[in-house]
């Protein structure tokens, strides 16, 4: 049976304790953004030029007001008007160029980061996936990276450019009038203080919202995945209520976010307005005293108006920056995870393994198991001879699945060693180890791909080769594996072995999926085949056929089989009894039956389970038959009612 995962943590894993400044946290994106940075800088230059041009327009206006308007000479109006028009067009062109420069690089950076994340998720050990909710990973891969892309192409560029524009704008304001500029600056000071406080508050809410989005994605993923169970137990409404609760939490957080943004927005609009009003009063007084020309006053306000958008935009640009900071932290929480199951620095290779598999004093405890709980395995020693088939038997929860997972390094032993042909499996590369030891699980996961690709998943040597001889060999291996797994049903699928089996093979029955998963393990042609109850969903007749075919494979391959049925036990040359974390007896089925009371107890409980399962299958079949008869009767009745109400016309239309 598959490894039982512990209940997922209620929320996402806590953020890294080390808290970097926002700038340093965001700088971590740089290695991914490096190739695209020239384009982003080009976008910044274009945006900056657009900003400078916008600030130059008041210059022309001042010359217009103090020149032709003051002197009443209309000949000067046209050059000034044309200059404003040309500057306006140039500004529009540079804004368009900014968009052009930054649009594509952002998508490249997003794709690069997403590929990196995917590779890391593939590389990280099963223990990591035990701890993390799938929705949290999904939201990092999709919405967080989306946020980062939008910020890089838009928020980052505008934040820098608008910041520079504001600085240049203030210099220009000061150049028009020192006193008015100073007044404008002093009145704006509360804005910078508010901006700082905003960061403290908003960053926390932004992080909370993104974690809650991840929780929500987990809830959707789980309910879609478990839709059959929810429907069968009529728990759809219950699950909806739970989902609505989580959605409500996220809604409340989003409202907090909106309130925080509204707060800074309020000050960003109010303070420039107050500054405008005060400067107007001061400006008129200065103009009346002759210290400022009307044209200069006009240009001062035109410049201050140009600065309004950059100042107002700082609010949402800061919000976007803090959202992106949270997204970046979340991304690097996964990227910073250290993979504990890695390839050795100096790997050993086994050319042609014979398949001797040895567990030597193996102790294992799950990382997330409570400290006071004893290890699942506590000194397991077992040796499988080359070509031998060993059944692993024990009560539920005794650690059978765990033992099989150690043989393929899905987890690493806590103490002791697992050896293949005398070589510690940690001294082999993972790629080589998985070539030598293949596994089939009870929970047969198939990928959204053709039957062929699913079955030949473990044979890249054949499927990724350009050699026609390999292609022919792939066909032979495929046919043989399907034959052994009694999976000839694939030939009656619409496109035979080229039929795409749906998401996780949902379009196939449990037994059909298991047969394909078994075919996949057989096709890998390993020296050791580890089977974790892979025949549980087969009916008795098919199971007997698969077992007969498997015997042929197992005659030359070492097999470690977790047995949940007495019939599986009988396939094995020897049986190992797992009890309280140790192998307490090894022998043939009949030897153990004769001498071991605990073994007799386990076997009799397996028989009871098998009987109950057979009864369940029979009951389901009967129910399906009754349901079919009931549907036929309803259909017949519906046809009678239809034809009675439609009359001959209705019949004809049908």
| Site of interaction with ligand ATP (CB under 6 A) | 1, 3-6, 130, 366, 368-369, 376, 394, 396-402
159 vs 362 by CB, closer to ligand ATP = 362
Least separation in angstroms between residue 606's CB and ligand ATP is 10
Distance CA 513, CA 555 (A): 24
> What are the residue ranges of helices labelled H in 124-177?
126-131, 134-139, 145-150, 156-176
Residue 138 CB, shortest distance to ligand ATP, in Å, is: 20
Taking the complex as a whole, the smallest distance from the CB of residue 411 to ligand ATP amounts, in Å, to 8
Rounded to 5, what percent of the chain is helix, strand, coil?
70, 10, 20
- Taking the least distance from each CB to ligand ATP, the nearer of 311 and 538 is 538
Could you tell me the two tokens for 264?
Answer: 């800074």
Specify whether the CB–CB gap between 474 and 494 falls below 8 A.
Answer: no
Per-residue tokens: 501: 């089996």
Question: Which one, 362 or 376, has the nearer CB to ligand ATP?
Answer: 376
Which residue, 81 or 611, has its beta carbon nearer to ligand ATP? Answer: 611
Tokens found for residue 445: 């996961």
Q: Measured from the CB of residue 3, what is the shortest distance to ligand ATP in angstroms?
A: 4
Q: Which is nearer to ligand ATP, 402 or 525 (CB)?
A: 402
* Residue closer to ligand ATP (CB basis): 404 or 486: 404
Cβ atoms of 155 and 317 closer than 8 Å: yes
d(CA 107, CA 115): 12
Q: How far apart are CA 568 and CA 561, in angstroms?
A: 8
Supply the minimum distance, in Å, between the C-beta of residue 330 and ligand ATP: 23
The region that residue 8 occupies, defined by phi over 0 for left and psi between -120 and 50 for alpha, beta otherwise, is: beta
* Cβ proximity to ligand ATP, 267 vs 366, nearer residue: 366
In whole angstroms, the minimum distance from the beta carbon of 133 to ligand ATP comes to 14
Q: How far is the CB of 408 from ligand ATP (least distance, A)?
A: 14
CA neighbor of 177 nearest in space, from 17, 285, 335:
285
Q: Give Rg (Cα) of the chain.
A: 36
| 3-class secondary structure, 587 | strand
Closest CB 223 distance from ligand ATP, rounded Å: 22
- Tokens 């701890």 belong to 131
3-state SS, 546-577, equals HHHHHHHHHCCCEEEEECCCHHHHHHCCEEEE
Strand partners, 55: none
Nearer to ligand ATP, 330 or 409 (CB): 409
Q: Which is nearer to ligand ATP, 68 or 510 (CB)?
A: 510
Closest CB to ligand ATP among 400 and 436? Answer: 400
CB of 390 to ligand ATP, least distance (A): 15
DSSP alpha helices (H): ranges in 226-235?
227-232
* Least spacing, CB of residue 333 vs ligand ATP, in Å: 20
> In 97-127, which positions are buried (b, 16+ CB within 10 angstroms) versus exposed (e)?
bbeebbeebbeebbebbbebbeebbeebbeb
CB of 533 vs ligand ATP, minimal distance in Å: 7
At 233 the three-state DSSP class reads coil
In the complex, the smallest distance separating the C-beta of residue 392 from ligand ATP, rounded to whole angstroms, is 8
CA dist 447 → 116, 450, 500, 631 (Å) = 21, 8, 9, 34
Distance CA 439, CA 211 (A): 35
Task: Output 5 or 193, the one with its CB closest to ligand ATP.
Answer: 5
In the complex, the smallest distance separating the C-beta of residue 402 from ligand ATP, rounded to whole angstroms, is: 3
| Nearest position to ligand ATP, beta carbon | 1
The answer to whether 449 touches 480, Cβ cutoff 8 Å, is: no
Question: Which one, 402 or 408, has the nearer CB to ligand ATP?
Answer: 402
Cβ neighbors of 8 (< 8 A, separation 6 or more) are 132, 133, 218
Measured between alpha carbons, how far is 43 from 37 in angstroms, rounded to an integer?
10
- Report the residue number, 7 or 494, with the smaller CB distance to ligand ATP: 7
CA 359 from chain centre, in angstroms, equals 35
């Amino acid at each position: 049976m598959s490894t039982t995962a512990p209940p997922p943590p209620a929320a996402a894993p806590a953020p890294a304790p080390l808290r970097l400044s926002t700038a340093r946290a965001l700088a971590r994106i740089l290695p991914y953004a490096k190739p695209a940075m020239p384009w982003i800088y080009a976008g910044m230059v274009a945006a900056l030029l657009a900003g400078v041009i916008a600030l130059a327009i008041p210059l022309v206006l001042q010359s217009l007001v103090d020149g032709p308007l003051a002197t009443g000479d209309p000949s000067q109006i046209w050059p000034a008007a044309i200059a404003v028009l040309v500057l306006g067009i140039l500004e529009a062109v540079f804004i368009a160029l900014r968009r052009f420069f930054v649009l594509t690089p952002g998508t490249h950076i997003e794709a690069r980061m997403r590929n990196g994340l995917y590779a890391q998720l593939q590389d990280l050990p099963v223990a990591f996936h035990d701890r993390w909710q799938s929705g949290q990973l999904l939201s990092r891969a999709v919405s967080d990276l989306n946020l980062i892309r939008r910020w890089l192409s838009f928020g980052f560029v505008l934040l820098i450019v608008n910041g520079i524009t504001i600085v240049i704008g203030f210099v220009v304001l000061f150049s028009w009038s020192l006193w008015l500029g100073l007044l404008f600056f002093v009145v704006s000071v509360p804005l910078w203080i508010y901006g700082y406080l905003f960061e403290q508050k908003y960053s926390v809410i932004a992080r909370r919202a993104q974690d809650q989005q991840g929780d929500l994605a987990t809830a959707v993923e789980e309910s879609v995945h478990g839709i059959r169970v929810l429907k069968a137990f009529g728990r759809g409404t219950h699950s909806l209520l739970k989902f609505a609760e989580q959605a409500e939490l996220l809604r409340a957080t989003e409202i907090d976010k909106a309130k925080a943004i509204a707060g800074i927005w309020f000050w960003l609009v109010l303070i420039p307005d107050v500054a405008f009003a005060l400067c107007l009063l001061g400006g008129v007084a200065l103009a009346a005293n002759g210290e400022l020309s009307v044209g200069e006053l006009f240009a001062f306000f035109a410049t201050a108006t140009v600065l309004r958008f950059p100042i107002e935009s700082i609010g949402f640009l800061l919000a976007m920056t803090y959202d992106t900071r949270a997204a970046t932290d979340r991304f690097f929480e996964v990227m910073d995870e250290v993979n504990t199951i890695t390839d050795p620095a100096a790997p050993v290779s086994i050319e042609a393994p014979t398949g001797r598999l040895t567990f030597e004093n193996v102790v294992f405890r799950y990382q997330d198991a409570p400290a006071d709980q004893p290890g699942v395995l506590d000194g397991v020693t077992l040796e499988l001879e080359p070509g031998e088939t060993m059944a692993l038997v024990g009560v539920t929860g005794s650690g059978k699945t765990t033992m099989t997972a150690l043989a393929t390094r899905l987890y690493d032993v806590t103490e002791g060693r697992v050896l293949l042909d005398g070589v510690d499996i940690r001294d082999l590369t993972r790629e080589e180890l998985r070539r030598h030891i293949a596994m089939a699980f009870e929970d047969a996961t198939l990928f959204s791909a053709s039957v062929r690709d699913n079955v030949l998943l473990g044979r890249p040597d054949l499927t990724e080769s350009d050699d026609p001889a390999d292609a022919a060999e792939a066909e032979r291996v495929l046919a043989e594996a399907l034959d052994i797994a009694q999976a000839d049903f694939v030939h009656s699928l619409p496109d035979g072995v080229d039929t795409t089996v749906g998401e996780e093979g949902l379009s196939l029955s449990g037994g059909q999926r298991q047969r394909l998963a078994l075919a996949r393990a057989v096709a890998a042609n390993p020296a050791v085949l580890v089977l974790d109850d892979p025949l549980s969903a087969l009916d008795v007749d098919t199971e007997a056929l698969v077992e007969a075919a498997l015997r042929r494979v197992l005659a030359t391959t070492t097999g470690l089989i977790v047995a949940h049925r007495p019939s599986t036990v009988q396939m094995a040359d020897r049986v190992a009894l797992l009890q309280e974390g140790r192998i307490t007896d090894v022998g043939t089925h009949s030897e153990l039956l004769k001498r071991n009371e605990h073994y007799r107890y386990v076997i009799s409980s397996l028989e009871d389970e098998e009987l109950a399962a057979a009864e369940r299958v029979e009951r389901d079949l009967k129910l399906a038959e009754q349901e079919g008869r009931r549907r036929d009767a309803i259909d017949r009745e519906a046809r009678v009612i239809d034809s009675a109400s439609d009359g001959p016309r209705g019949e004809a239309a049908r």
